[in-house]
Amino acid sequence: MPFSQAKTSRRDFLAASAGVAVTAALPSSSSAFPLPHTLDGISGSTALPSRPQRIILDTDPGVDDAIAIFLALRSPEFQVEAVTPVSGNVPLSFTLPNALRLLEIAGRPEIPVAAGAAVPLVRRLVTAAYVHGNNGLGGVEFPEPKIKPVAENATDLIRRIVRANPGEITIVAVGPLTNIATVLKVDPAIAPMIKSFVLMGGCLAGGNITPAAEFNFYVDPEAARIVFDSGVPITMVGLDVTNKVLLHESQVRILEAAQNPVSQAAGKIMRATMSRIKPTNDETVVAMHDPLTIASLIDPSVVTLKDYYVQIETTGEMTAGMSVGYYRGPVRRSPPMETGASGPIPTEEFKPNCKVAVGVDPDRFFRLLLPRLTQSA
């Protein structure tokens, strides 16, 4: 990875890396930590909707993906229709068996898992093994999964489920958007049948893999562009908020202490992740990017949403994958070159295509997350 050769300190490097944030030790007065197992209000259980939300989880596990998958599988607010791994944090050859392992650990072998894209639409794959370990699960070795992927690929499975249930299916995508863009490319007429996309990705101000781009959109900018052009309602949960939900040492101990397979696995993965990235004397924390995205569907009050028009940069040599958000019009593109076509400089009427998470309540998030992972199944 290019960053590994940079002259920046390891701490700076890790702070800028996908999936991880490193802070100086928090003041002891920090109210969030350690957390009790149960708190009143929203803790383990939120009010159940009359019908669970039907979701397809598109993912690149991935240490925070693992926590997100566990949270989704342990939340009665969801009916998880399928899990569709994609290359991202690590190659598909790891994300696919990892997804199977995580479902097996959670005792949910009946959920179909379909292999997704091994490479981005038009680019070479960039991974983040420096954060997620070479195997994507922090280097923790879990047994080979007994359950197998279904015969269909992710594109076909997503299309079949959505077409059989028009308007019903929310696609929660917490990895690069290659699988989703492929669905839209292969079957453009499917867009109006998708209830919504809920995405972990992007940022309104800066990135983590480059100064401009967040990792998921950076890995496959063209795919992200297709998704934001699709007309499907989008919620973008990006670094603006996910970098503010930071798992601390005290919370890893809570996970490790609970005697159920999900919490034990989550504790091992987070312990290994923290050990890898541990910097000097500062406190190491792991940003809960993907779990926050799941939590925002369980309890919408965890985040604050605002209408934006978001578009994805695909041509910049230094900025590909950057998410550019307008909250008022007009939407302007860069000025045309003097030598190019003449005529008026194009602007577009401002029209939101996306709700962007701009605020977050980290305490509320952790009061939701931890009990769901630690309670007995």
**Residue 75: closest CA among 237, 236, 296:** 296
Site string (305-324) toward Ca ion, x via CB under 5 A: --------------------
The nearest distance, CB 86 to Ca ion, in angstroms, is 9
299 binds Ca ion (CB under 5 A): no
d(CA 12, CA 257): 31
The nearest distance, CB 254 to Ca ion, in angstroms, is 23
65 or 313, CB closer to Ca ion? 65
42 or 209, CB closer to Ca ion? 209
69 binds Ca ion (CB under 5 A): no
Contacting Ca ion within 133-192 (CB under 5 A): 174-175
Task: Name the one range near Ca ion by CB under 5 A: 59-67, 71-79, 91-99, 179-187.
Answer: 59-67
Active site residue ranges = 289
The three-state secondary structure class of 82 is strand
d(CA 234, CA 311): 12
d(CA 153, CA 265): 27
Bridge partner residues of 312 (DSSP): 323
Contacting Ca ion within 258-297 (CB under 5 A): 290
The nearest distance, CB 330 to Ca ion, in angstroms, is 34
Binding footprint of Ca ion, residue count (CB under 5 A): 6
What are the C-alpha distances in Å from 161 to residues 48, 170, 270, 351? 24, 11, 33, 30
The nearest distance, CB 91 to Ca ion, in angstroms, is 14
Among 65, 222, 299, 313, binds Ca ion (CB under 5 A): 65
d(CA 298, CA 216): 22
Among 16, 62, 63, 74, binds Ca ion (CB under 5 A): 62
309 or 365, CB closer to Ca ion? 365
Are 175 and 118 in contact by the 8 Å Cβ rule? The answer is no
Please list, in sequence order, all residues whose beta carbon lies within 8 angstroms of the beta carbon of residue 91, skipping any fewer than 6 positions away.
Answer: 118, 125, 127
Contact residues: Ca ion, CB under 5 A: 60, 62, 65, 174-175, 290
